[in-house]
Amino acid sequence: MKRTSLIALAIFCVALYGCASSRDYDDTAQPSSATIAETESTTIASDASTPPNLEGTAPVTSSTNSVTLTNTTDTLNQPATPTTTTTTTTTTTPTDQSMTSSSTLSDTDTTQDDTTTTTSTRQRMRKD
């Protein structure tokens, strides 16, 4: 009797675990929304009578932004190829800091075959 109970308990446990895991497949609804079947029709978009609401310019205080890009240096040591150095520097005053990276990207490709050495302080752009 005890063994039967244990087996039943084990089966129940496995089934319950499976249910709990598979529940995620339905856990994709939006706030106050429910995912519906893909075949369900809708009458919203592409309907000329209900175009998206468009609104014009809103007054917002002007701002100056900052981008500092420095020293993009590419050096090719290939015999037939001359060394190329490009330096770009742009500096303005930041206010929103949404792009605050200085970039130094230098590559040394000694053979342009299989040896590539790269050191970089990479440009990062904030998506705020």
Partner 1 sequence: MKRARFLLLIVLALPASGWDRTETLLAKAWPAAPYAGLAEIGSSIGIVFSPDLSVPGNCRFYSALGFACFESADWLQILADVHAWNLDHPGRRIRTLILETHGTNGHGLKVQKGKAPDDERSYVSVGALQEVLEPVGVRYIILSACNSGRLLRPEIYLRLNRDPGDKLFLPPTRGIIDATPEFKPDRNAITVITPGASHIENTLVGALRELAPATRSALQTAAKKRGVKLPKQFAISEMLIQMLLRDPKLELRTGSHVDELSKEQTSVDTSEQIFGTFVAHLNFIAARDDRATSATASAAR
Sheet strands side by side (includes 117-121): 84-86, 72-76, 104-109, 117-121
Query: Which residue in 1, 2, 3, 36 binds partner 1 (CB under 8 A)?
Result: 36
CB 112 within 8 A of CB 76: yes
Distance (Å, rounded) from C-alpha 99 to C-alpha 69? 10
Sign of the dihedral defined by the CA atoms of residues 85, 76, 104, 67, in that order? positive
Q: Is 71 in the site for partner 1 (CB under 8 A)?
A: no
Q: Is 93 in the site for partner 1 (CB under 8 A)?
A: no
Query: Which residue in 2, 3, 57, 89 binds partner 1 (CB under 8 A)?
Result: 57
Q: Measured in Å, how far apart are the chain's first and last C-alpha atoms? A: 63
Shortest Å distance, C-beta 25 to partner 1: 6
**Site residues, partner 1 (CB under 8 A):** 9, 12-13, 16-17, 19-21, 23-25, 27-38, 40, 42, 44-46, 50-63, 65, 74, 95-96, 98-99, 103, 105, 107, 109, 112-114, 116, 118, 120-128
